[in-house]
Structure 1
């Protein structure tokens, strides 16, 4: 993709800014973090975004201004200002989180493999809309550890992803999209959207408790209980528009994602019900059938498909 497509703005922008501001205020430690090694990269990314990218890409939304406090970037939608020179890397993350409807994760080659190739670690982030995981728990970890709960990642994707990340050139951007079904409309979710095996559980606050223990002797009962609790009207098609590019000075990688939520009634109204129902069936028919369990398809799948095809 051209870098002009890195950030997208739509008619939800004003509402999303309010939601993001609220989440940043309510969950300051969960939504942003910066390890020492990533400070320069965070500031480089911030400087490019507020000095170059945002005012050039969206000139009717972000306007450069000068005040007694110094140069600012004025957000014409929220009617608030963004400092061109942030007080700290954490302040930079806070401003990006509040003023751009995109979550940013900074990755650096913090370790090396046996063959000498770089291994990228998550070293800083601002994420207002995690999709059922805790970003703060993953900060500092390499890609393999971050994706450990994902079925098939180690066997099918780990080596190719490490190579791809290492070879991505400055000036080149890539994008992809994913989808899942959530059983609620919460944009901010640190848990509850996935299922994990016992050896993947860690101690964490109650709000981050894993959905199910797949080794529990009561697993079938737990699944049936959660099936009964599914309310189709509360379910959402949740999609992420993900992008990746490299910063020219620090050579850090910036992984970004914008979250979209759709009511299932909207999916039906546009005539895509059968297509989504087929995709749900496809979760268990691909090269990694365990993905259907990981995404909780065994809980919401039947009710959602019935509704989509009705």
Structure 2
């Protein structure tokens, strides 16, 4: 044995060169594979750098660990909380994809300085436009009441200085609005539960259930309940009890690019998982309740472009939807929260984002240019951003879209 061992180095010496190269190649290959799998820095919407979360090893059927909701700072003052400055546009061609990312569970629902006026406006919309702004199919009643408990529990944990249980232990109290609602909605009518939620948070919400009654599309998720006070160019009442494919019928390339991935997304969404996506559009009017006008349905040739000289750009808005998704633990219903932000074009220009936004406008082409009404407002907005026109006024001022619509007329169907 000692003789054999002593001869091993001489035996391998002729192969040391090739073996070294093979070993080096294997090491480099492993490093390349690892570098692809490791999380890479991504650029979030605010321009900072974050680490992409590593993929979960849980299967799509598993429940993720429960999230602990942390209270805001004790000195938090909702009146001083400015709306989040989301700017999801890019100086590039518009791409059709879901563009989802992980969401911070602490910010699924937020309280900002628009809260009081916005929730009062929502109350008015639900009272005057109940037929198109809210609905609940009987199949979604259990999910709706579970969502009510989820939202009120979140608010009491996240904002304990404004939301808490009253002394009797059976009432949820909203200090900002001085309103009380039942803590347990079990015995409440489902439409009343919709109103309780709709006037307590600024977020619209949609409950989606897998499949539907006979005759509906197979393997589709159906809009079974929700409140939609801030529709963006569609009539919510016409979307209730419709599957996703029918709801997104007007969206260009939905069938070809998004239908399969969207249904798979809702199928795979897990309990205690929170994801978010953003989209942007434009409107040259002052209605945040906008069941019409924001989307084009005609050919580009039939739309008369707006003149920049006819517009007050303090009242021309980039409209952003923050769409958050999660799954309820008991009923397993999927929920979508939609928070709508309107930012005047004057502010985008003041932020020195004019070049980027012009690039985003130019990036809208073909079907999406029509769908987003680019032909109507595109040239006028670009003229303002480039300094070619000041519009009706050079004065820059704050316009309160909630107060204006709260005290004005609501847009008709």
Matches for 1:205-244 after TM superposition, within 5 Å: 213-214=298-299, 220=301, 222-224=302-304, 227-228=306-307, 231-233=311-313, 234-244=315-325
Deviations, residues 207-234 of structure 1 (Å, cap 9, x unaligned) = xxxxxx43xxxx73x412x535962523
Identify the structure with the greater strand proportion.
Answer: 1
1: distance between equivalents of 2:161 and 2:347?
A: 30
Task: Answer whether contact 2:282 2:317 (CA < 8 A) is retained.
Answer: yes
Partner of 2:258: 157
Partner of 1:122: 223
2:149 matches 1:47 = yes
Task: Answer whether contact 2:211 2:218 (CA < 8 A) is retained.
Answer: no
Residue of 167, 174, 181 corresponding to 1:82: 181
**Bigger Rg over Cα:** 2
1: distance between equivalents of 2:137 and 2:218?
A: 22
2: distance between equivalents of 1:93 and 1:276?
A: 37
Task: Answer whether contact 1:118 1:166 (CA < 8 A) is retained.
Answer: no
1: distance between equivalents of 2:339 and 2:162?
A: 18
Partner of 2:345: 264
Cα deviation, residue 191, structure 1? 1.0
2:380 matches 1:303 = yes
Cα deviation, residue 73, structure 1? 1.6
2:111 matches 1:31 = no
Matches for 1:267-282 after TM superposition, within 5 Å: 267-282=348-363
Give the SS at the match of 2:319: strand
2: distance between equivalents of 1:26 and 1:273?
A: 38
2: distance between equivalents of 1:240 and 1:257?
A: 6
Specify every segment of 5 or more residues in structure 1 that has no aligned partner in the other structure, as ranges.
197-212
Partner of 1:202: none
Partner of 1:137: 238
1: distance between equivalents of 2:386 and 2:162?
A: 41
Matches for 1:148-187 after TM superposition, within 5 Å: 148-187=249-288
2:335 matches 1:246 = no
Give the SS at the match of 2:211: strand
Say what the alpha-carbon RMSD is for the aligned residues.
1.9
1: distance between equivalents of 2:276 and 2:312?
A: 30
Cα deviation, residue 78, structure 1? 1.2
Normalising by structure 2, what TM-score? 0.64
Cα deviation, residue 162, structure 1? 0.8
2: distance between equivalents of 1:152 and 1:164?
A: 17
Normalising by structure 1, what TM-score? 0.85
Partner of 2:291: 190
Partner of 1:10: 112
2: distance between equivalents of 1:71 and 1:264?
A: 46
Cα deviation, residue 65, structure 1? 0.7
Give the SS at the match of 2:256: helix
Give the SS at the match of 2:166: strand
Deviations, residues 41-94 of structure 1 (Å, cap 9, x unaligned) = 1011111212x2110011122121145xx7222111111122213321211111
Deviations, residues 100-155 of structure 1 (Å, cap 9, x unaligned) = 0100000000249xxx9731010011111111111110111111110010000100
2:165 matches 1:64 = yes
Partner of 1:200: none
2:292 matches 1:292 = no
Runs of 4+ in 1 over 3 A off after TM superposition: none
Give the SS at the match of 2:306: helix
Task: Answer whether contact 1:2 1:172 (CA < 8 A) is retained.
Answer: no
Specify every segment of 5 or more residues in structure 2 that has no aligned partner in the other structure, as ranges.
1-102, 388-413
